[in-house]
């Protein structure tokens, strides 16, 4: 697995690539993380995809992972993140199938209104209704953590303890060492993206021209299966529900089921 910092459209973006021992698919995969995450969250999934015969790439958006630190991250917009994704796609030799997780799924939906791709996969995505329902529910359940995040301007405080991270992203019985490691890797997130663009800036499925698959996690504490079902219906797309899985599907024990669904989708294109 090769990780470097690539100059992409004037931005220094972390880019990880893994090539298969035997290439079975001509179209590469590009994996896009969600809020608070980075390319690090895809390491195991990339190894899985490479074993299946895919060339697979993952990036970290600006201000995430090892990409450029951004002065004023809280003012980064959905359009800024879409620009990062567009530049990453343009840097590849072939247009990829893009897999967007959570916030990455919303970024991907916004891009699909402007640009056609060989395929797109929305993985536990922010739904068409945006982030309001999740944020309202999280504020009620964890008012002190959310208040600290807002008062300090560091949205990481909303999810940045093992207890909060486990409730949001993982299964209740995740091993303690894994939980500690993943929690330590969580970073800050844009307040504008979470509290404005994620609620007010809407995507339009009618403008999409790309084949699309929606994958939901049955035990997702962030976005419900019903929200994923409505998103799939709006795109006239297949919905795959992964039993017992939590929000961070790429780090969940049931990940191979999600990977198999993505492989079936790629084969059918």
Please report the pLDDT score of residue 232 as a whole number. Answer: 98
**Per DSSP, which regions of the chain are E strands?**
2-8, 11-18, 29-32, 56-59, 97-101, 119-123, 212-217, 238-242
- The count of C-alpha atoms lying within 13 angstroms of the C-alpha of 228, restricted to the half-sphere facing its C-beta, is 28
Predicted confidence at residue 169, as pLDDT, reads: 98
Residue 71: its pLDDT value, please?
79
Domains for the chain: give ranges and CATH numbers.
2-129+203-268 (3.40.50.1820)
Half-sphere exposure (Cβ direction) of 220: Cα atoms closer than 13 Å = 26
pLDDT of residue 70: 77
Q: What is the pLDDT along the chain (269 residues), one digit of tens a residue?
A: 766 666 555 668 899 999 999 999 999 999 999 999 999 999 999 999 999 999 999 999 999 998 987 778 999 999 999 999 999 999 999 999 999 999 999 999 999 999 999 999 999 999 999 999 999 999 999 999 999 999 999 999 999 999 999 999 999 999 999 999 999 999 999 999 998 999 989 999 999 999 999 999 999 999 999 999 999 999 999 999 999 999 999 999 999 999 999 999 999 99
What pLDDT sits at residue 12? 85
Question: What's the pLDDT at 3?
Answer: 61
pTM summary value: 0.96
| Nearest to 47, CA basis, from 89, 81, 9, 19 | 19
24: tokens are 């079975």
Compute the distance between CA of residue 191 and CA of residue 142 in angstroms, rounded to an integer: 17
Q: Would you state the pLDDT for residue 117? A: 98
User: What integer pLDDT is reported at residue 6 of this predicted model?
Assistant: 64
Which residues are bridge partners to 4 per DSSP?
15
């Amino acid at each position: 697995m090769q990780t470097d910092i690539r100059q992409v459209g004037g931005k220094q973006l972390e880019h990880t690539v893994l090539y298969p021992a035997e290439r079975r698919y001509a179209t590469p995969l590009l994996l896009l993380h969600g809020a608070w995450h980075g390319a690090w969250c895809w390491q195991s999934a990339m190894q899985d995809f490479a074993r299946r015969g895919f060339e697979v790439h993952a990036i970290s958006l600006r201000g995430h992972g090892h990409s450029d630190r951004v002065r004023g991250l809280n003012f980064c917009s959905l359009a800024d993140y879409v620009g990062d994704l567009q530049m990453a796609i343009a840097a590849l030799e072939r247009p990829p199938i893009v897999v967007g997780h959570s916030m990455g799924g919303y970024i991907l939906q916004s891009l699909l209104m402007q640009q056609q791709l060989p395929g797109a996969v929305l993985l536990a995505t922010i739904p068409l209704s945006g982030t309001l329902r999740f944020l309202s529910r999280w504020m009620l359940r964890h008012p002190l953590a959310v208040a600290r995040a807002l008062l300090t301007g560091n949205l990481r405080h909303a999810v940045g303890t093992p207890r909060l991270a486990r409730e949001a992203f993982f299964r209740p019985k995740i091993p303690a060492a894994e939980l500690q490691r993943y929690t330590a890797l969580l970073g800050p997130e844009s307040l504008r993206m979470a509290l404005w663009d994620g609620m007010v800036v809407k995507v339009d499925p009618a403008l999409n021209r790309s084949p699309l698959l929606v994958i939901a996690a049955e035990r997702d504490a962030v976005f419900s299966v019903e929200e994923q079902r409505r998103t799939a219906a709006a795109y006239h797309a297949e919905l795959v529900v992964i039993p017992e899985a939590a929000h961070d599907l790429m780090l969940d024990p049931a990940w191979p089921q999600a990977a198999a669904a993505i492989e079936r989708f790629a084969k059918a294109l």
